Amino acid sequence: MTADQQPDPVTLADIEAAHARIADAVHDTPVLTSRLLDAHTRSKLFFKGEHLQRAGAFKARGASNAVLGLPGDVAARGVATHSSGNHGAALAMAAARRDIPAWIVMPENAPAVKRAAVAGYGATIVDCAPTLAAREETLAEVIDAHGAHVVHPYDDARVIAGQGTVALELLRAVPELDVIAAPVGGGGLLAGIAVAAKALKPSIEVIGVEPAGADDAFRSFGLGELQPQTNPQTIADGLRTSLGVRNFALIQRFVDTIVTVSEEAIVEAMRLQWTRMKAVVEPSGAVPFAGALEHGERFAGRRCGIVISGGNVDLDRLPW
């Protein structure tokens, strides 16, 4: 799907419809708290536990919304995407639920735990070089060969609407939030959360958090023009992607700010969440909490929603 074919911008109504559509396919994940981490940041933190989501990440929401909404004749051809792991596993899971085939183009250096998850749901993995150009070229070959329907990892209104259900649940559980912080890679999660949060509570501050070594969203937001992702260097493998066109338009409109965090802060956030919360959080999922650690002045004294986006960790490649 090209930018000029994109449906109307995602609205709260789209997100509410997605929530109803995927209700039986995903978990309403718990909101976790920790007095120790509150004290550490001098704030009140409410962690939305998407590491406990089906397939281990928030991606289950957008993928399920896209797949469950497909007409029968389209679904029968199967679905395809490119992914470093979490979206691929989520799409494979959603395809298995509808008993349709799925082809997932994955970079050769994708974490082993994420490759195993994709294969475990019965999808066909197609390897490619670890570049965005290679991913898109290989996906085009898959489409030509099989006629499958593409579900983009983030630059898709159905996916954005599905990811936005995170904010619906979080604000229903904790309506008194002052701020929501979410990671940003391709931007589907942040865009969806921002649309829902601002519609439900216009006064809330929405903060995107991004690794300093993969800062295209930060640069794009600051310059007001989409900037390319070039040679991303971060352990947060799920955030190495380029910001999507549709996502950027929504982020410009509904997100208050984007901040970056160091690799050291990401590792510290992971360690604290593992040891203090007993939560197995992957590097990308630790990025928003890293924002609270490294930009404490923005969070201190406030009620903060922190989205833990995923927990698919390669235990053989831990950063400590």
The pLDDT tens digits for 133-184 are 899 999 999 999 999 999 999 999 999 999 999 999 999 999 999 999 999 9
What would the two tokens of residue 189 be?
């999660």
Per-residue pLDDT band at 1 (split at 50, 70, 90): very low
Q: Quick check: is 48 catalytic? A: no
Contacts (Cβ under 8 Å, ≥6 apart) of 114: 84, 85, 86, 88, 89, 106, 312, 314
First to last CA, the chain: 41
**Predicted confidence (pLDDT) at residue 8 exceeds the cutoff of 70:** no
Contacts (Cβ under 8 Å, ≥6 apart) of 42: 296, 299, 300, 301
pLDDT digits (tens, 9 = 90+) for 105-147: 999 988 888 899 899 999 999 999 988 789 999 999 999 999 9
Contacts (Cβ under 8 Å, ≥6 apart) of 19: 165, 168, 169
The catalytic position among 44, 48, 59, 114 is 59
Rounded to 5 degrees, φ, ψ at 263 are -65, -35
pLDDT digits (tens, 9 = 90+) for 221-265: 999 999 988 889 999 988 988 899 999 999 999 999 999 999 999
Tokens 């649309």, located at residue: 195
Q: Quick check: is 309 catalytic? A: yes
Give the pLDDT confidence score for residue 241 in this predicted structure. Answer: 86
Per-residue pLDDT band at 317 (split at 50, 70, 90): confident
The amino acid present at 117, given as its one-letter code, is A
Exposure letters 126-158 (e unless 16+ CB within 10 A, then b):
bebeeebebbeebbeebeeeeebbbbbbbbbbb
- Phi-psi group of 189: left, alpha or beta (phi > 0 → left; psi -120 to 50 → alpha; rest → beta): alpha
Residue 37's H or E segment, with its range, is helix 35-41
Give the pLDDT confidence score for residue 160 in this predicted structure. Answer: 98
Mean pLDDT within 23-36: 97
Give the pLDDT confidence score for residue 3 in this predicted structure. Answer: 43
Give the pLDDT confidence score for residue 113 in this predicted structure. Answer: 81
What would the two tokens of residue 225 be?
């023009």
**β partners of residue 46:** 305
Q: 3 or 76, which is more confident?
A: 76
